[in-house]
A and B are shown apart, each in its own frame.
Chain A
Amino acid sequence: MGETLQTSPGGAQRHGVTFNRPVRTLRVKMVLLGSSGVGKSSLALRFSKDEFRTVSPTVGCAYLTRVVHLSDVTLRFEIWDTAGQEKYHSVTPLYYRGAHTALLIYDISKKETFIRAQMWLKELEKQYIPGSTVIWLVGNKGDLTQDRQVSVQEGQALASDRGLSFTETSALSGDQVSELLLAIAHRVYECVGAQQGGLSEWQETPHMDLHHRDAFNPFGSCCKVGP
Chain B
Amino acid sequence: MTIAEKNPQNCLSDWNGIMERDIQQEGEAQKVNVCDPPSESNPPAETLVTTFCLLGNHMFADTVEQKEARGTAVKKGGEENVDQSHCAANEQILDVEPHCNQAKKLETENSEDQNNASTNPADSECEDAAMDNDQSDSGEFVVTMLAKAKLEEQGIGLKGRSSPLLEAGTQESHGFMSHRDEDVMADSWRQHRKHVFVLSEAGKPIYSRYGSEEALSSTMGVMMALVSFVQSGDNIIRSVYSEEHIVVFLQKGPLVLVCVSSSRQSEEQLRAELLYVYYQIISMLTQASISRIFEHKKNYDLRRLLAGSEKILDGLLNLVDSDPSFLLAAVHCLPLASSLRESLSQTLQKAITPNLVFSILIAKNQLLTIVQEKTVIEDTRLEPADVHLLLNLIGASSAFQAGEIWTPICLPLFNPDCYFYAYISYLDPPECTVCLLLLSTDKEAFYAVADCKRKIEEAMVAQNSLSLIAKAQSYSVSQVGVSDLRHFMYKPFDVPDNYRQLTQFTSPEMEAPYSSEDEKMRLLDLYRFMHSRIHSTSRPLKLIYHVAERETLLAWVTSKFELYTCFSPLVTKACAITAITKLLRWIKKEEDRLFIRYPPKYSTTPNPSKSSRGSKSDQQDTTDNGFLSLL
Q: Which A residues fall within an 8 A CB radius of B?
A: 11-12, 35-37, 41, 44-45, 48-49, 53, 55-65, 79, 81, 83-91, 94, 110, 112, 116, 119-120, 123, 205-206, 208-209, 212-214, 216-220, 223-227
Contacts and interface: CB of A to CB of B under 8 A. Distances in A.
A44 B630 contact: no
B147 interface: no
Interface in B388-438: 393, 396-400, 402-409, 422, 429
A213 B448 CA distance: 8
A6 to B, nearest CB: 18
Contacts of A62: 399-400, 402-405
Interface stretch (B224-232, B301-309, B326-334): B301-309
A177 to B, nearest CB: 15
B383 interface: no
Contact of A63 (B174, B404, B628): B404
Contacts, number: 174
Contacts of B152: none
B370 to A, nearest CB: 20
B354 interface: yes
A120 B631 CA distance: 9
Nearest to A89: B630
A146 to B, nearest CB: 17
A94 B405 CA distance: 14
A218 B618 contact: yes
Given A36-B173, A83-B308, A86-B627, A63 B450 contact: yes
A50 B404 CA distance: 17
B607 interface: yes
Contacts of A214: 354, 606
Given A84-B308, A213-B354, A63 B405 contact: yes
Nearest to A208: B447
Contacts of A218: 441-442, 610, 615, 617-618, 620-621
Nearest to B617: A218
Main secondary structure of the interface of A (DSSP, over half): loop
B309 A60 contact: no
19 contacts: A37-B174, A55-B399, A56-B397, A58-B399, A59-B405, A60-B409, A81-B402, A83-B407, A86-B307, A87-B305, A89-B629, A110-B171, A112-B171, A212-B442, A213-B354, A216-B442, A218-B441, A218-B621, A226-B626
B145 to A, nearest CB: 35
B207 to A, nearest CB: 14
Nearest to B629: A86
Contacts of B630: 86, 89, 116, 119-120, 123, 225
A44 B610 contact: no
B550 to A, nearest CB: 38
A223 B443 contact: yes
A214 B450 CA distance: 17
Interface string B281-317: 0001100000000000000000011111101000000
A225 B626 contact: yes
A36 B621 CA distance: 24
Contacts of A224: 624, 626
B398 A86 contact: no
B399 A225 contact: no
A59 B610 contact: no
A225 B402 contact: no
A36 B172 contact: yes
B355 A216 contact: yes
Contacts of A41: 399, 402
**The 4 residue pairs across chains A and B that have the minimum distance between CB atoms:** A60-B407, A218-B617, A37-B175, A57-B308
Given A58-B405, A206-B451, 8 more contacts: A11-B404, A36-B173, A45-B402, A63-B404, A84-B308, A86-B630, A218-B620, A224-B626
A37 B177 CA distance: 11
A48 B404 CA distance: 12
Contact of B354 (A79, A87, A216): A216
Contacts of A37: 172, 174-176, 308
Nearest to B315: A56
B41 interface: no
**Residue of B309, B448, B630 ringed by the most chain A CB atoms within 10 A:** B630
A33 to B, nearest CB: 10
Contacts of A81: 402-403
B106 to A, nearest CB: 35
